[in-house]
Amino acid sequence: MGVGDVTGVELIDSPPLVSRADPHNLPFFDGVFDLGFTAHLGEALFPTRFVSELERTVRIGGVCVIVIEECDDDEVGEIRSLFRLSSFVSARNVTLVGLKMTQIIMRIRVPL
């Protein structure tokens, strides 16, 4: 995967790789991505809608990777429960840009 294969969205435009878009209403067709990544779920105004859009835009068999502030198993369970179309793959603590974080991976399993 190269930089040309990446589509980023943010509330503020940062061309050429990041387009302005609302993560609660993504401007992409269903199942167009192999992988969805976010490090901003904790900032979402509507987490259920945010996750729904992430799942909608990732193809069946694709994965969603969520990185949040380091958390315990109960908090991981709360995040897992937001995913209606996905199966839990793994959760582990990681260091990202010098911060202790938890990475959660979900695999899309059912069609919309």
Q: What is the mean pLDDT of the chain?
A: 87
pLDDT by residue (tens digit) across 64-95? 999 999 999 999 999 999 999 999 999 999 99
Edge-to-edge strand order for the sheet containing 33-38? 33-38, 58-69, 99-108, 86-96
Token pair for 58: 């990732």
Considering the entire predicted model, what is its pTM?
A: 0.86
pLDDT by residue (tens digit) across 25-67? 888 899 999 999 999 999 999 999 999 999 999 999 999 999 9
Domains in the chain, ordered, with CATH?
Answer: 28-108 (3.40.50.150)
